[in-house]
Each structure stands twice: as structure tokens, then as C-alpha cells.
Amino acid sequence: MADILSQLEPIFRDVLDNPTLRLTREDNASNTEGWDSLAHINLISSIEQHFGISFDLGELEKLEDVGQMADLMEQKLAAL
């Protein structure tokens, strides 16, 4: 899990243009500066490209924070 977060952090830093961002499982669009709807689309696209996975719209609608995203990613990566 920590490995996924450590790999996500540079993606979030780049997309949100925040080089000092420290990503936690509790981060979400409501409590993270710069994470708006356009940034969300860019984050998902960058994550899918980096990890070689894809998310379904239904899966994305259920995610409430980075922790849930990382858990879903872990499941997807294990299935590869």
C-alpha cells in the first residue's frame, strides 16, 4: 500500500502543480488545494497511464479519498 501511495505522490504533485504535496490516504478533492473537476480527470488519466490500468465510471463514483483509490488500484494490479 505504501508503495502505491509513494508512486501516486509525484503524479498528484505534477497534476496539482504542488511540488511539496504530501499525499495521505485521507486526501480528497474537498481537502486538497487545486483538486477540481479538471484536475480529477487529469489525475485519473495519468494514473491509468502510469500503472497500466483503467477505471470504470461506476468505480470512480464510489471513491471518497486517495485511500479508497489506492485500495482499488491494489486490487486491479493484483489481477494483472
Q: 3-class SS at 9?
A: helix
pLDDT (0 to 100) of residue 18: 97
Q: What letters, b where the CB count within 10 A reaches 16 and e where it falls short, cover 59-76?
A: eeeebebbbebbebbeeb
Locate the domains of the chain by residue range.
Answer: 2-78
Residue-averaged pLDDT of the chain:
95
Q: Cβ distance 25 to 66 under 8 Å? A: yes
Residues 39-58 pLDDT 10s: 999 999 999 999 999 999 99
To 5 degrees, how large is the angle CA 5–CA 66–CA 58?
125
List, for the chain, all residue ranges whose pLDDT scores fall below the cut of 70. Answer: 1-2
- Domain 2-78 fold: 1.10.1200
